[in-house]
Structure 1
Amino acid sequence: MTLSHLFAVRSSWLLRSSLGLALAGLLAGCAGPNVQDYAQQQPTMDLREYFNGPLTAHGIFTDRSGRVVKRFTVQMTGRWEGDNGTLDEHFLYSDGTTQRRVWRLRHLGGGRYVGTADDVVGEALGEAAGNAFHWKYTLALLVDGSVWNVALDDWMYRMDARTLLNRSTMRKFGLHLGEVTLVMSKTSQE
Structure 2
Amino acid sequence: MAILLAGAAADFDPFRFFIGRTRGEAQLKVILRARVPVVVRGTGHVDGDTLVLDQVVQEGGKPPRTRQWRLRHITAGRYEGTLSDARGLVRGEVDGARLHLAFTTDKGFKVQQWLTLAPDGRSAANILEARKLGIKVATLQERITKVDP
TM-score interval, normalised by the smaller of the two chains: 0.7 to 0.9
* 1:118 maps onto 2:84 in alignment: yes
Structure ranking higher in strand proportion: 2
Length, aligned pairs only: 141
Q: For residue 97 of structure 1, give the secondary structure of its aligned residue in structure 2.
A: coil
* 1:89 maps onto 2:55 in alignment: yes
Q: Pick the aligned partner of 2:68 from 97, 102, 107.
A: 102
Q: TM-score scaled to structure 2, two decimals?
A: 0.87
* 1:150 maps onto 2:117 in alignment: no
Amino acid at match of 1:158: L
Q: CA RMSD in A?
A: 1.7
* 1:49 maps onto 2:8 in alignment: no
CA gap 1:75/1:117 in 2 versus in 1, 3 angstroms: same
In the alignment, what sits opposite 2:104?
138
- For residues 126 and 150 of structure 1, what CA distance do their matches in structure 2 show? 17
> In the TM superposition, what is the alpha-carbon distance from 1:103 to its structure 2 partner?
0.9
Encode CA deviations 1:95-125: one digit per residue, 9 max, x unaligned.
Answer: 1411100111111120100120221110011
Counterpart contact for 1:116–1:122, Cα < 8 Å: yes
Q: For residue 50 of structure 1, give the secondary structure of its aligned residue in structure 2.
A: helix
Q: For residue 15 of structure 2, give the secondary structure of its aligned residue in structure 1.
A: helix
Encode CA deviations 1:146-173: one digit per residue, 9 max, x unaligned.
Answer: xx31000110000122110000111001
Counterpart contact for 1:166–1:182, Cα < 8 Å: yes
Q: TM-score scaled to structure 1, two decimals?
A: 0.69
Larger radius of gyration: 1
Counterpart contact for 2:9–2:121, Cα < 8 Å: no
Structure 1 segments unaligned to the other structure (5+ residues): 1-40, 141-147
In the alignment, what sits opposite 2:127?
167
Structure 2 segments unaligned to the other structure (5+ residues): 1-7
Aligned-pair identity in percent equals: 26
Answer with 81-90 or 173-182: which moved more: 81-90
Answer with 41-50 or 70-79: which moved more: 41-50
Amino acid at match of 1:162: R
CA gap 1:176/1:106 in 2 versus in 1, 3 angstroms: same
Q: For residue 149 of structure 1, give the secondary structure of its aligned residue in structure 2.
A: coil
> In the TM superposition, what is the alpha-carbon distance from 1:138 to its structure 2 partner?
0.3
Q: Which runs of 4+ in 1 moved over 2 A?
A: 63-67
Q: Pick the aligned partner of 1:184 from 126, 130, 144.
A: 144
